[in-house]
Structure 1
Amino acid sequence: MSHGFFTIISRAEFEALLKSFPQLSAETVGLSRASGRVLASDLISAHDWPLQDRSCMDGYAVNARDVFGSTETNPGYLECTSTLSIEEIPDIDLPPGECARISTGGLLPDGADAVIMVEHTQEMGDTTIEMRKSVAPGENVMQRGEDAREGKVALPAGTVIRPQEVGLCAALGFDELKLIRRPRVGILSTGDELIEVGETPRPGQVRDVNSQTIATLVKQASAIPTRYGIIKDDLESLKAALSKAIEENDIVLLSGGSSIGVRDLTVQTVEAMPDSSLLAHGVALSPGKPTILGRVGDKPVMGLPGQVTSALVVMHVLILPLLRHLQGDPRAFDPSRRPMRKAILARNVASKPGREDYIRIRLEERDEEPPLAHPVLGKSGLLRTMIQANGLAAIPADAEGIYADQLIDIWIV
């Protein structure tokens, strides 16, 4: 039952509720569409990679013992007895005192365990090569199985696929991967004052900004947004729209209708759904306190604040990590994965203890010094504060503020 006031829980408690939702099922995806997704099961290599010891550089294949102690002032000398073709398997056994010319990617012959770069050598005649640097065994060599071993885990489940992981998968012959499914996110905008973006507002009306910005952020988290348009502030309209969105999506976001008064309508709508429960009525976050979390079946339903800055902060702090969590990212809520910069705070900023306060920050770059962090203050209904900002600074819930000239972390958003 709703009571017209908030029951505030901490951000950590709210995150614990979000973590209770299970990750989504897996699907098979082509390698070209895998970037940003999460591996659903261990990737087992079918063979060693590289298949054989290969040169990393253009130069000469040598036995490291033959160039031990060689320097520019005290060079060593080896006889170059062959030139190795990059596409062929060497059929020679390199004896002591000899070397073989080799190109990047070429296979090392038996008897060689290192490569000396061509710029550290000098041709002294038809076959004599002056060696002006010593090398250690394995130097400038990609050794067999160094990237992956046959029958071993090349990438563990939970790995977020980046371009470098795509490269390894391609090297190992995986043109398809089993990945956690991308979350489908239904976005409902609620409010009698809202109109579509292409319409002309009358006094008292505003264009639907939140669903556009929310959908854009959802895409950044590799999720799939679907906008369900503007829903009027009446119970039956909200119930019908929410029921459809829950059926077609993995998570539903309601923009607006989460503050005291109209909030009760969102709460009633969530509670009217079959197999539903209300998990949270508010979070100790500023801006973003009037955030609602419900569960319908095993799907999260969240009510976001109607003010655009509040909604964006809640998206960054809570919902984007939730979307990554649903995709199986084990570090979804880890603050260390946020893109951060150090900066010097330009002025004192006060905060009310008991809530985690996110201050919009504009960075001023300086030569050879940390940038200055200028707080961008303003009302949470103004887009200007987010447009002028480069990032966010978090003031802990147990602090009364942060002082000027303090070195602080800036979350780049």
Structure 2
Amino acid sequence: MDFFQCLPLDKARDRIAGSLAGVTVAPETVLLIDALGRVAAQDLRSPEDLPPFSRSTVDGFAVRSADTFGASETAPAFFVVIGEVFMGQAAPMELAPGQAVAIPTGGMVPAGADAVIMLEYTEQPDRQTLLALKPVAPGENMVAKGEDVSAGRRMVKQGQKITPGHIGVLAACGITEVLVRQRVKVALISTGDELVDIHETVQMGQIRDVNSYALGAMLKEAGCQVTLMGIVRDCGADFIEALQKATKDHHLVIISGGSSVGARDYTVEAINALGDPGVLFHGIAVKPGKPTIFGMIHQVPIFGLPGHPVAAMVVSEQVVKPALRLLSGQSEYTEPYRVSASLGRNLASTPGRDDFFWIRLHPQGESYRAEPILGKSGLIGLITEADGMLHIPADQSGLYDGEQVKIMLTRSRE
């Protein structure tokens, strides 16, 4: 297979999505506190009304709103105070016309009352007498039973990532356990005779294994459970053995390096040797990241990424992360945050190829100036300087200095 017959980026994504149709990690039940960031495996509905009773939102007096109509400081409405509501206790009384009950913030609104007048707009000549100095509307200063969440309402959709807000509302409804998708288990294999682990002393001609750690961190940030399988030397038999081991216990395998067409690049050979359908494409029309491989060994997707760290991370953002979302059953996706900026120089691009550039942002008035960080794909220091990434689509031949562009942030907006 000739990797120079590159697939356009959108077609590569479509082929990956088609191959993963119906391939989703199994569900598991976790405690609510452990559900943050996980993908819901079923719709989560409220078992009860929230709040379970009508509650006051202010300190004041529960009243019948109709009894306050026309009230003013010069002509206050008169009420008889028949009792007091205490926090954490039921309100046993029922209001008749002309009656009021003292109530704290969060207290249960008694039957017969449909509003609460704030303490600031009342006067009490004595403990049994209340003067209302302004009218209140029905429902004012209170939350009705079920107004927040009604019983049976869907709070989290299947396939939705669970947020801190979801955790809060689930806790309010007394839900202690949640059925979620398992974390996607990813095996990371680095290849190459020149690589050594970061704990070893580098000799002449050797380099440290950057991708296991950079890609591993990226995948953990995406919610995956990552296993570093170590370094595999440039030997076909060793490569096949490592890949076979990785596919047994993981949902997805990433091979860093060995995706080119050199005599000692064994990724294609190993994938095809271990099971159908094998390699599904070799090469994407992107820069950096052209020699990317995608295949399937039975139900396990395999990505062969370039060994250069910058290229590997660009490809991971563009094709590996969408595959992870499919595997995890995530049905909703929030696009990365993008900011508008003015491009700081001309950028050439090859039509027919999607180009990605790391960008440093500089404040410029109320906007930003986008400065491309130009360098080769093996220079890992580029990423540490970047605030975001600029995408030039395949149907464009470049961008001009001063042109308005959208930058996908890769660094926290803080």
**362, 370, 393: which is aligned to 1:373?**
370
The Cα of 1:77 is off from its aligned counterpart by 4.2
Seen in structure 2, the aligned counterparts of structure 1 residues 48 and 267 have a Cα distance that, compared at 3 Å, is: same
The Cα of 1:89 is off from its aligned counterpart by 1.6
Deviations 1:366-408, CA, capped at 9 Å, x for gaps: 55x0222221111111112111101112112111223333333
Amino acid corresponding to residue 358 of structure 1 in structure 2: F
- Please give the secondary structure, in 1, of the residue aligned with 2:50: coil
The Cα of 1:141 is off from its aligned counterpart by 2.9
Give the match for residue 171 of structure 1: 172
Seen in structure 2, the aligned counterparts of structure 1 residues 168 and 262 have a Cα distance that, compared at 3 Å, is: farther
Seen in structure 2, the aligned counterparts of structure 1 residues 357 and 136 have a Cα distance that, compared at 3 Å, is: farther
Seen in structure 2, the aligned counterparts of structure 1 residues 143 and 385 have a Cα distance that, compared at 3 Å, is: same
Contact 1:195–1:208, Cα closer than 8 Å, also in 2? yes
Seen in structure 2, the aligned counterparts of structure 1 residues 140 and 325 have a Cα distance that, compared at 3 Å, is: farther
TM, length-normalised to structure 1: 0.90
Q: Which has the higher mean CA deviation after the structures are superposed, 392-401 or 287-296?
A: 392-401
Contact 1:80–1:101, Cα closer than 8 Å, also in 2? no
Deviations 1:114-159, CA, capped at 9 Å, x for gaps: 34455x5353644435545x65433443322234333443322112
Give the match for residue 149 of structure 2: 148
Give the match for residue 326 of structure 1: 327
Distance between the aligned counterparts of 1:407 and 1:135, measured in 2? Answer: 52
Give the match for residue 182 of structure 2: 181
Contact 2:68–2:132, Cα closer than 8 Å, also in 1? no
- Please give the secondary structure, in 2, of the residue aligned with 1:178: strand
Amino acid corresponding to residue 130 of structure 2 in structure 1: T
Give the match for residue 15 of structure 1: 13
Distance between the aligned counterparts of 1:153 and 1:321, measured in 2? Answer: 26
- Please give the secondary structure, in 2, of the residue aligned with 1:359: strand
Give the match for residue 4 of structure 2: 6
- Please give the secondary structure, in 1, of the residue aligned with 2:111: coil
**388, 406, 410: which is aligned to 2:407?**
410
**349, 352, 364: which is aligned to 1:351?**
349
Give the match for residue 281 of structure 2: 280
Amino acid corresponding to residue 256 of structure 1 in structure 2: G
Among all aligned residue pairs of Structure 1 and Structure 2, give the percentage whose two residues are the same amino acid: 39
The Cα of 1:243 is off from its aligned counterpart by 0.2
Amino acid corresponding to residue 377 of structure 1 in structure 2: L
Seen in structure 2, the aligned counterparts of structure 1 residues 75 and 214 have a Cα distance that, compared at 3 Å, is: farther
Give the match for residue 123 of structure 1: 123
The Cα of 1:181 is off from its aligned counterpart by 1.0
- Please give the secondary structure, in 1, of the residue aligned with 2:220: helix
- Please give the secondary structure, in 1, of the residue aligned with 2:405: strand
Deviations 1:314-352, CA, capped at 9 Å, x for gaps: 1222212322221111134xxx52122233323332221
**Aligned Cα root-mean-square deviation (Å):** 2.4
Seen in structure 2, the aligned counterparts of structure 1 residues 130 and 370 have a Cα distance that, compared at 3 Å, is: farther
The Cα of 1:166 is off from its aligned counterpart by 0.9
Distance between the aligned counterparts of 2:153 and 2:171, measured in 1? Answer: 17
User: Which consecutive unaligned segments of at least 5 residues does structure 1 have?
Assistant: none
- Please give the secondary structure, in 2, of the residue aligned with 1:48: coil
Give the match for residue 379 of structure 2: 382
Q: Which has the higher mean CA deviation after the structures are superposed, 264-273 or 142-151?
A: 142-151
Correspondence list, 1:300-315, <5 A:
300-315=301-316
Amino acid corresponding to residue 296 of structure 2 in structure 1: R
Give the match for residue 47 of structure 2: 46
Deviations 1:11-38, CA, capped at 9 Å, x for gaps: 2222222323121111111111110001
Distance between the aligned counterparts of 1:287 and 1:138, measured in 2? Answer: 60
Deviations 1:55-80, CA, capped at 9 Å, x for gaps: 23334434444455778x88854537
Distance between the aligned counterparts of 1:23 and 1:182, measured in 2? Answer: 11
User: Which consecutive unaligned segments of at least 5 residues does structure 2 have?
Assistant: none
